[in-house]
Structures are given as structure tokens and as C-alpha cells.
Structure 1
């Protein structure tokens, strides 16, 4: 079957993207342990907070990126399998978001800090609303039985667009949250670039790099997964 796929450089680029994303998660973990004291729960609110940046980085950045790249990275799997994997990863992300939000709200309440006052939190709320809407409407629209093929074809470009928008906003929210936390804990020492400030800046730059790599992969026309003959028929023989 003739396709418009052009996978030159894809494997190398995808591998580099995975390494960068993995490094990002590891550095956030190191920052949380070495400079922020590790992890805890309600008995130690500052340590409870540390779950927030880690889980949001793993969920809303790394896992989210892989969920939107899955149609490129696993292009030879059946369309139905890819849909289920895509939805499954999103469901895991939802759990990560819920735990992360409980952690930060509990931390704020314990220390009598207002909730949802900063630009970081406002952008974060918008990002999560788009993500949750994508998750719910994606389940309704694209999973069995789903809507009619004609409606799915019409809605798909919007689903892809808002998915990418949510990912870009997740990167922006992560960077603003990282900066906000650094300003709080380091205060005027931030400008003197102690070790923690250097690490925070490096993590921020890696967020940017990861966002660029993922966005390039999912918008590159040649890397798009084009339809296979079996895509329109499920294992049951019912048109997809």
C-alpha cells in the first residue's frame, strides 16, 4: 500500500525525545529529594507538596507527550489498539493529576496559603479543563461504539489541535510553577545562582527542549500515521 509516510530520522529523533523526557522526570525527582527534602503527606505539608511537581511532570508532560506520539511510535499496531492505549494513558494521567492537586491544595491549606491566586494556577486550571474535556469527549467520540465515522472525521482535527494546545500549555504551566516555587524558596538568593537555582533553570530549559521535540514529531507530515487497510474493520468485522 502506497502511503505518504516519510520516516527518515524518526527513530533517532524519537529516541532522543524519550531520553530528554526521561531526564526531565529524573531531574525533577532529584530536585525534590536533594533540595526540597523528599516526599511525605499531611503530617509534613512541605514534603506533601513535592508530589505535585513530580506527578504533574510525569503525568501532564511525559505521559501526555507519549500519549499524543503513540500514533507515530506504534504506527503498525491496529487503530483500535492505539485508541485504547491512548485512552488508557490519559486515564492514568487523570489519576496523577488528582493526587497532585490534592497534594498542593492540602499543602496550601495547612500553611494558610491562598489557593488558585497565581498566574501559574490560572493557566494550570485552563490546561486541566482542556485536558479533561479532551479525555471525556475523546472517550465518547472515538471509542466503541463512538459516533458515526463522518462525525469522527469532522471532530478529529479539533481533537488533535486541542490535544497539542493542552500539551504546550502544560509545558508553560510547568515552567511558571517551577519559577514560582524557586522564587518562594530562594527569594533574593535566586539571583546569586546557588546550586538549586542552577538546577531549576536547567530543568526549565529541558521542559522547553522536550516541548519542541514532541511538537515537531506530532506536526511533521511525514511522521503521521496514514490509514492502513485494516483500520476500518475491527476484529469483529464491524466497520470502525
Structure 2
């Protein structure tokens, strides 16, 4: 008989917290999609809009789905432990695949347009977070899903797995906000340059 994920009673307000987190996460995804669609031209792979695939995929993968994966053990604490672990792992797999698509999109966009890769703080933070996320998933799979690790070894590693999972999620949020700030600064910089060109005297007509 499979053990349960946790027999501790759930806080009475937990369903409301979970519902709020899902509403907030979906709002972030919808807002990102609306921003890309209304103000950045939309999304496409074989065009200049390929870059827009990157922020949408990263928000869906490393913010929304990763957050849901962390909630699994709180929401399904009385379900069979193996079922909860499999769901936790699958959500991380989907998050990783979607984030990988976003990463490929931005590198492919840079290659097609002759732009340099990893030229900003956001770029380096993003690569660091992605690598840490992948390593965290591999180690977690090896310890908790792939048969072979002893119970004592799993027990010793579990606190580190929880700590690094929460840390990587917070780093993902920070990196996403850093990327949005970078996009805003680029946009404002272009607007400022255009305004300067409009207001500057034309030497040909002086």
C-alpha cells in the first residue's frame, strides 16, 4: 500500500490561497500575452516576432508551471505519495520543455539577425537559472523517482531539494522581472532616440 504525501491536516484557508495563486498566475500569463499581442506585434516563429516567443514561454514555464509544481505537495498532501511525486515531476518536465522552446527562440532570433548572445545581465541570469533548474530536476528525478536511491539518502537530500526548488523559483521571478525591465528600457531608449531625431535641426535645410 502506498504511503500518503502527508497526513497532516491542511490549513482551512488553503483552498482560497491556492485559488488566488492560480488566478494570479493565469493573470500574469494573460497579461504577458496581451502585452505581446497589443504592443509588440504578436507572436510568430519565422519572422521578426520570433523574439516574442521567449518572454511568453518563460512566463508560462518557469513562472506559472514551476509555481504549480511547487504547490503539488501542499494541495495533494493526502494523495498517494508516488502519484504526487509523478505529478510534481511531470509539471517540471512541461515547464522545462516550454522554457527550452523560449530559450531556443531567442538564440535563433539573435542568430538570424546577427545580434550578440548573452550581452546583458538578464541573459546571464536567465542561463544560470535555466541550468540550475535542469540540474535540480535531474537530481530530483535521480533521488525521488528513479529507483535506486536509499530511503536514508532521500531523507537527507529532501531539505536541500526543497530549499533549492524555492530558491530557483524566486530567481526565475527575479530574472523575468529583469527581462521586462530590460525590454522597457530598450523601448524607452528607442522612443527617446526617435524624439531627438525629430526635434534636432536638419543641416540640409538650415
Please give the TM-score of this superposition, normalised by the length of structure 2: 0.86
State yes or no: 1:35 paired with 2:39. yes
The whole-number CA distance in structure 1 between the counterparts of 2:129 and 2:69 is 16
Structure 1 residue 138: Cα displacement: 0.9
Cα-to-partner distance string for 1:162-210 (whole Å, 9 max, x where unaligned): 00010000000000001111111232658xxxxxxxxxxxxxxxxxxxx
The counterpart of 1:26, out of the listed 30, 35, 42, is: 30
The whole-number CA distance in structure 2 between the counterparts of 1:154 and 1:189 is 54
Q: What is aligned with 1:184?
A: 186
Q: What is aligned with 1:155?
A: 157
> Does the 8 Å contact 2:136/2:164 carry over to 1?
yes
SS at match of 1:81: helix
SS at match of 1:40: coil
Structure 1 residue 4: Cα displacement: 4.9
Which contiguous aligned blocks of 4+ residues in structure 1 show a shift greater than 6 angstroms? Answer: none
Q: What is aligned with 2:199?
A: none
> Does the 8 Å contact 2:7/2:78 carry over to 1?
no
Structure 2 unaligned regions, length at least 5: 1-5, 193-206
The whole-number CA distance in structure 2 between the counterparts of 1:153 and 1:15 is 31
The counterpart of 2:126, out of the listed 106, 112, 124, is: 124
Q: What is aligned with 1:9?
A: 13
Q: What is aligned with 2:52?
A: 50
The whole-number CA distance in structure 2 between the counterparts of 1:96 and 1:4 is 34
Q: What is aligned with 2:84?
A: 82
Q: What is aligned with 2:110?
A: 108
The counterpart of 2:137, out of the listed 112, 135, 153, is: 135
How large is the RMSD of aligned CA atoms in angstroms?
1.7
Q: 1:62 to 1:146 in 2, by over 3 A?
A: farther
Structure whose CA Rg is larger: 2
Aligned residue pair count: 187
Structure number with the bigger relative contact order (C-alpha 8 A, sep ≥ 6) is 1
